[in-house]
Amino acid sequence: MPPSHLVELVNEGEHDNLEFKERLERDTHLEQGRLQSLAAQMRHRVLSGDGIAHYVVGVTDDGGFEGIDDESFEETMEVLNVVAAEAEVALDDVETHDLEGGKVAVVTVRDTGGDGEHIVVGTAGHVDHGKSTLVGTLVTGEADDGDGGTRTFLDVQPHEVERGLSADLSYGVYGFNDDEPRRMNNPLSKREKSDVVRKSNRLVSFVDTVGHEPWLRTTIRGILGQKLDYGLVTVAADDGPTQVTREHLGVLFATDLPTMTAITKTDMVSEERVEEVEEEVQQLLKSVGKIPHSVESHGVETAVEEMPEGHIVPVVRTSAVTMEGFDVLDELLRRLPKTYDDVDDDFEMYVDRTYQVTGVGTVASGTVKSGSIEAGDEVYLGPTHDGEYHRVEVRSIEMHYHRVDKARSGNIVGIALKDVDDFDVERGMVLTSTEPEAVREFEAEIMVLNHPTRIREGYEPVVHLETASEAAVFQPDDGYVLPGERDTVKVQFKFRPYRVEEGQTFVFREGKSKGVGTVTKTL
């Protein structure tokens, strides 16, 4: 028997945003004239439902639950995806039920929207300096309870919530309609995230990194692999800048990422202590050649004009409890321009995560580095351990739980791939419209930031490049490199090749030793 809510939906009868389809076939329904007719019908259903329509698959026109087999269901879903692309809408959710006669499904179709400007901000800072709480408060507009309550909207693993420590990258999003922020009551709600993406004409995505020192590699992955527009480093007023603060700022500045700093927890200390910490932050920024800009003293206008060029680093005093400074952060995030636009280049996205979704298949997620992609496109996936790339088809695209028919440079998306098993896709691989070479060895100019002695031939750090993290062997041109020096080195991955191109920035580390580099030539 079908579930009661499905029976109720079918028995509701005629609704302008409800459509029954027993099955759809490629040969019949994708013919040119028929495709246009189905697309017009779908567009009408979506508009009649104020942006949402429901297609019930496996049900006859008179409401009979016939059901269809798995092969017919897959074909029907492929046809619906093509029709949705033609109608400039997207399949947003698929609820499937296995009945005696086969599968029955309710497919939610939505107006895609979300075509406005989209900036991506990476947060960093020491553990317990309020990164996740700050983002949670921004996306909800709700004051924190003083115990990090709003941060639980971002830490998705139970052990993270229990310990109050983030262990992996997490994501948040809010938007703007002209001057007004569009926030969420519950950022864990997939539907609310989808609505923010669909209804905002400016979107701000947060990549919330990890502040605990043992997970520095995860923080580096968040900074290097997510195509960020801006960095945001938090410094707690009760603690002040720490060694981890310095390391995170070092990675952000080494990649030339425009960055702002937020002094958090100002409600917990005296005004004198806040001023003392702000002075420490300013001195730290000056020591690495940056110009600190107190937004409280000098306003938002200069920060908006100068920060994207990397000339200044805005400093904002904040409290998630009293909401001090959050109007300033809103103003900055509403007005700061996107720092790049590579939409006219070839499509490329480095894979950061992979997972399986029932009814969809294998999904590769990451931030689109360049170009654009649409559902139905064919792209290359790789390289594999033996250096091969495989041609795969894009089944569908999702951005913050909102199905879209197209993604472009700077969008954080999940891309469902047709006929690909999850073990075929690994972090560090790339999806690209043109087949590149697989690179095992390259030349680079490096600078050693921290090392107890000198780096010699045969030095074996871990190289973090985009979303890849791999052990590598260094061969300095001059035989060795001292801390603070620059030199040209040959770098060879130890175990497998990756997609590498000239101009890419990478970080290398081994224990407490760290450095940065830029690829100058692939070999």
Q: Which helix (H) or strand (E) holds 136?
A: helix 131-140
Per residue in 456-510, pLDDT (tens digit) is 999 999 999 999 999 999 999 988 888 888 899 999 999 999 999 999 999 898 8
* Residues linked to residue 261 through DSSP beta bridges, in sequence order: 233, 315
State pLDDT tens for residues 393-450: 998 888 877 778 788 888 888 999 987 876 688 999 999 999 999 999 999 999 888 7
Scored b (16 or more CB within 10 A) or e, 225-246 reads bbbbbbbbbbbbbebbbbebbe
Delimit the CATH 2.40.30.10 region(s) of the chain: 348-432, 441-522
CATH class of 4-111: alpha beta
Task: Please say if the pLDDT value at position 95 is more than 80.
Answer: yes
Instruction: Count other Cβ atoms within 10 Å, centred on residue 335.
Output: 15
Q: What are the backbone angles phi and psi of residue 213, rounded to the nearest 5°?
A: -55, -40
Alpha carbon distances (Å) from 137 to 112, 149, 158, 408: 27, 9, 20, 28
Mean pLDDT over the full length of the chain: 84
- What is the C-alpha separation between 6 and 104, in angstroms, rounded? 9
pLDDT in tens, 281-315: 999 999 888 999 999 888 899 899 889 888 899 99
- Distance, CA of 418 to CA of 420 (rounded, Å): 6
- Identify which of 373, 439, 428 has the alpha carbon closest to the alpha carbon of residue 406: 373
Average pLDDT score over residue span 119-135 = 89
Name the more confident of 30 and 347.
347
Tokens of 450: 């921290």
Indicate the CATH number for domain 441-522.
Answer: 2.40.30.10
- Give the pLDDT of residue 161: 34
What is the CATH topology of the domain spanning 348-432? Elongation Factor Tu (Ef-tu); domain 3 (2.40.30)
* C-alpha distance from residue 440 to each of 305, 458, 460 (Å): 41, 16, 15
Q: Going by CATH, does the domain composed of 117-335 fall within 3.40.50.300? A: yes
pLDDT above 70 (res 38): yes
Span of 206-210, 387-391, 470-474 with lowest mean pLDDT: 206-210
Q: What phi and psi values does residue 274 have, to the nearest 5 degrees?
A: -60, -45
Query: Strand pairing partners for 135?
Result: none
- 248 — phi, psi (to 5°)? -65, -45
Q: What is the DSSP-derived secondary structure letter of residue 324?
A: T
Q: Give start-end residues of each CATH 3.30.110.10 domain in the chain.
A: 4-111
Instruction: Please state the φ and ψ torsions of residue 171, each to the nearest 5 degrees.
Output: -135, 145
| Residue whose tokens read 């490329």 | 348
